[in-house]
Amino acid sequence: MTAPSERRPSSPRAVFKIGGSCLRSTRAFDRVAEIARAELDDRPGRPVVLVLSALSGITAALDVAWTRARRDGVVDVAAVAGPHLAALGCLPDPARAAASCELGALLGDLAHHLERAASGRGGEALLRDAVLAAGERASILVGAALLRGLHGIPARALVGAAAGLECDDRAGDATLLDASAPRVRERLSASGVHLVAGFVADRRDGAGLATLGRGGSDYTAAFIAGVFGRPAILLKDTPGVCTADPAAVPGAPVVERLDYADALLLGRLGAQVVFEKAVLEAARHGISIRVRAFEPATAGADGGNVAETVIEPASDALDRIPEVRLRSPALACARDVELVADDGTDVTSGAWRVRRDPLARLETLPSIAGAGLELGPRSVLAGRAGRSPGAPTARPADELALVSIFGAFDDPDRRAAVLACLDRASVRAIAIGQVVDGEALAVVVARDRATPALQALHDAVVTPLLGGPRPAVERPSR
């Protein structure tokens, strides 16, 4: 008689997601093969699930191709074809010929969609989704071919319904359906390596593929991980969630732990390492998200422990940062923002208009409710703007950025230090004040000065909160 444990469908140890910024060359797929082989060796007979984004730059190239087709009637798939054909070039024949044939069929589909877009035939939203979906489709096709042909790894390329993934009918920002969970479990429980296209799923109305919005591949991985009750491991070009964007602040330390609420707030204020839909999906299922570097060079000093950020229901990060009196650890982040004043003129004259977050799903996370944040590129934040001495007047049409510092109280000394460090960095603060119900101190600056502002504030505010040297408090020059 078969034991109960043997009758249960097999499940992966974790669901991995590999970001497009990591997939820059054929060498990147050698690393994908290393990850897959390690999982296969660790758990023989268990499935390995890897969610892939499009290759680096491909989604942007598809967006350009779509725009040219709609605006100019030009159909051109060369920018998409080139990197994928180059990746397949290292395969021996006949594997190269077979994979190139599959890729040719995919590119033919893409050209057909672009021709329809150029002629004005078909629904614009549906066609655009079909065009953008080609990036992830091509990525898993190439990845599976390289894993099989160069590394002898039994890899399958799965898109949408082939992986059990079904979504609603909202083009451009679709939601994965809970009803598809049994099919996901059934189709991803077989042994071997499953390369799943992130960012896309089949629409329930049968109209084709829909895209899942910004961060859609993270969301895909979190959804699949939730189906199996396993962690989602997001492999990125950063070693985790850092105290600031490491591209702007080299050497910014990794935050070891965050809770769901921290991650949501940070994402909305610009720390776009883990996107909102993925965090909400993980919170729904009570699973953890682990963010770590794709390349193994970020292992700990002892060569063992890998640097990573763990996002889970409870965070003990504050135990290691005794000076921080808020729930959130000390971080700095920046994002583009549009501010609207009560009187409709400028944002420095008084209270900013409050807009409640429209997402009912956030009611499951009460600490976020009423944060006064609205999703999208035109976010409006609730609070009061304090006028920075000598600051220019900002109007709603101006290109602005909000630079926020978590763990920083808005007391007179801290405000003076912030304004002084911005002045030394030649950044003029348009407004300064508390945002997100007092969770963060924030300044509004011109968008093109956001990076130097982030660098200056990380050094002046975040580093001392983490136990580094504390800057002298100076009055800003006027």
Quick: pLDDT tens for 161-180.
Answer: 999 999 999 999 999 999 99
Q: What is the DSSP letter of 221?
A: H
Cα–Cα separations (whole angstroms), residue 229 to 9, 222, 223, 368: 13, 10, 10, 24
pLDDT tens, 195-205?
Answer: 999 999 999 99
Could you tell me if residue 122 is left (phi over 0), alpha (psi between -120 and 50 degrees) or otherwise beta? left
5-9, 72-76, 233-237, 351-355: which range is least confident on average?
351-355
Whole-number pLDDT of residue 347: 40
Cα Rg of the chain, angstroms: 24
Partners of residue 211 on adjacent β-strands = 200
Query: What pLDDT does residue 141 have?
Result: 98
Confidence of residue 316 (pLDDT cuts 50, 70, 90): very low
Name the phi and psi angles at 389, rounded to 5. Answer: -55, 130
Write the pLDDT tens digit of every residue in 87-120: 999 999 999 999 999 999 999 999 999 999 999 8
Nearest to 10 by CA among 160, 148, 194: 194
Residue 334: name the closest of 429, 261, 412 by CA.
429
Number of residues that this document lists for the chain: 478
More confident residue, 247 or 72: 72
Residue 29 has what pLDDT?
A: 97
Q: Pick the more confident residue, 424 or 374.
A: 424
- Per-residue pLDDT band for 435 (boundaries 50, 70, 90) equals low
Q: β-strand 331-337 against 400-406: which pairing, if any?
A: antiparallel
Helices (H), 89-180: 95-119, 124-151
Q: Tokens for 309?
A: 């950020």
Q: Is the pLDDT of residue 451 over 50?
A: yes
Residue 360 is predicted with a pLDDT of: 20
Q: What is the pTM of this model?
A: 0.83
The most confident of the ranges 233-247, 258-272, 425-439 is 233-247
Q: Supply the DSSP symbol for 445.
A: E
**Which pLDDT score is estimated for 89?**
95
Q: pLDDT value at position 317?
A: 40
Measure the N-to-C terminal CA separation of the chain; round to a whole number of Å.
83
If you search the block for the tokens 């829909």, which residue do you land on? 210
What gap in Å lies between CA 375 and CA 469, rounded to an integer?
36
What's the pLDDT tens digit per position in 31-41?
A: 999 999 999 99
Alpha carbon 445 to its chain's center: 24
Q: Where are the domains of the chain?
A: 8-237, 322-465
> What are the backbone dihedrals phi and psi of residue 439, each rounded to the nearest 5 degrees, phi first?
-75, -20
Identify which of 189-193, 246-250, 395-399, 400-404 has the greatest average pLDDT. 189-193
> 23: which DSSP letter?
-
* pLDDT for 270 beyond 80: no
The neighbour count for residue 246, using CB atoms within 10 Å, is 16
pLDDT of residue 327 exceeding 80 = no
Residue 74 zone, left/alpha/beta (φ > 0; ψ -120 to 50; rest): beta
CB neighbour list of residue 151: distance below 8 Å, 6 or more residues apart: 30, 33, 36, 37
The per-residue pLDDT for 410 is 57
Q: Are strands 200-203 and 232-236 parallel, antiparallel or unpaired?
A: unpaired
**Quick one: fold of 8-237?**
Carbamate kinase (3.40.1160)
With contact defined as beta carbons under 8 Å apart, do 143 and 52 qualify? Answer: yes
Q: Return the CATH number of the domain spanning residue range 322-465.
A: 3.30.70.260
Between CA 100 and CA 386 the distance in angstroms is 60
